[in-house]
Structure 1
Amino acid sequence: MELTALYARSVELAAEVVDTVTPEHLELATPCGDWNLRRLMEHVVGQHQGFAAAARGAGPDLALWADAAVGDDPAGAFRRTAEDLKAAFAEAAAADRKLWLPEIRDGGPFPLDLAVGFQLVDTLVHGWDVAAALGTPSGLVAAVDADPVLAGALVSVSELVPAGPESRGPDRAFRERLPQDGARGPFERALALLGRDPAWTP
């Protein structure tokens, strides 16, 4: 299966989680440091917009990746911007375009498949962050683990994230890798690779 199709599958699984978020949930704590659920959703939607701009040929402009307001409808904002990003990825594929990703390593340009892989990981892991904040992570984990191709893509791209101190830490996108020997499946292995504790609770 093409990576873009796997990404579309990851969006649908994450959207099913985000659809359950209500305005009352937006102050909940998340596994993302001191971010509450509103801050996490603003980051996710901003990433959708940044990746879409990159897929349409934007250069390394960090302003395009700014967090975006979600109001009281995070699910609507998530779905609208994710659909736009899927369309932008299709446009980039048709143009054989590489993407500038100013938040990642040296900014690129990155091959489209790698950029899509990064966003697939972001989508599933932040989907888990949302589910964990709501106290319901098991459904998403089970759905991904039941799909060997999707789960394999999640783990393989997670393994590409550098593990050195220049890339990991409390002020970085990812914390230090955690031991994987207790992982009960590929999703938990990916979480550990990215410094997420699969047992995190609010």
Structure 2
Amino acid sequence: MDIRKLDRTAVLETVRVLGQASARDWDRPTPCAEWTLRELVAHMAGQHHGFAAAATGGGTDLADWQPSELGDDPLATYCATAETVLHAFARPGVLSAEFLLPEISATRRFPASLAIGFHFLDYVVHGWDVARALGVPLDLDEETVRAAESIAQRVPDDEGRTSPGAPFRPALPARPDGSALDLVLTSLGRSPEWSATASH
């Protein structure tokens, strides 16, 4: 399947899940230990902005990738950035482009399909982060999750995962009875058993 369609599915699911947040939910803890829900969504919105810039030939300035200011209506702000990145990825010819992703490399150019794959995996995982913070289900079809699993298995599990600010932690043991989504999570250092209550 076109990586853009997979990515769109994941991003729109984050929009759907976040639509269930109430005003009192934005300070909830998330599986990203250093971030509340508001801080996580600010990061997610900022990444949408950066990837959209990269898809249109920009994105070289790290300022493009900084967390977004969510303002008084964080959901509306997030939805606007989601729409921006999906529109950028849908542009004709984008799959023949190369993306500059300065958070990964200051000089390397990434084929569009690989770069969009990075974005896709992030939003499957961040969708789970948001859903778990809110205590609601994440609804992704099997094809989408299996595609995320394939990408997750190729993420190096090396010393870089222990660096400050690393997007993923060292892999956890896979659960023998776990789902495909569980495998995505454990391979990237997240515990499928995480709960907001247990994090306090």
Whether the 8 Å CA contact 1:117–1:153 is kept in 2: the answer is no
What percent identity do the matched residue pairs reach? 38
Q: Deviations over 1:47-100 (max 9, x none)?
A: 000000011101532111011011232222222111111111123734721001
1:175 aligns to what?
A: 169
Task: Tell me the TM-score normalized by structure 2.
Answer: 0.90
- Does 1:157 pair with 2:164? no
Q: 2:193 aligns with which of 174, 192, 199?
A: 199
1:72 aligns to what?
A: 72
- How many residues get paired? 196
Distance 2:64 2:89 in 1: 16
Structure 2: state its 5+ residue gaps: none
Matches within 5 A, 1:50-69: 50-69=50-69
Matches within 5 A, 1:32-181: 32-91=32-91, 93-94=93-94, 96-104=96-104, 108-136=108-136, 139-140=137-138, 143-144=139-140, 147-169=141-163, 171-181=165-175
State the 1:107 CA deviation. Answer: 5.6
Q: Give the partner amino acid of 2:169.
A: R
Task: Tell me the TM-score normalized by structure 1.
Answer: 0.89
Distance 2:128 2:118 in 1: 15
SS in 2 for 1:153: helix
Q: Give the partner amino acid of 2:34.
A: D
Whether the 8 Å CA contact 1:47–1:67 is kept in 2: the answer is yes
Runs of 4+ in 1 over 6 A off after TM superposition: none
Distance 2:107 2:45 in 1: 20
State the 1:196 CA deviation. Answer: 0.5
Structure 1: state its 5+ residue gaps: none
**Residue 101 and residue 55 in structure 1: after superposition, are their counterparts in 2 closer, same or farther (change >3 A)?**
same
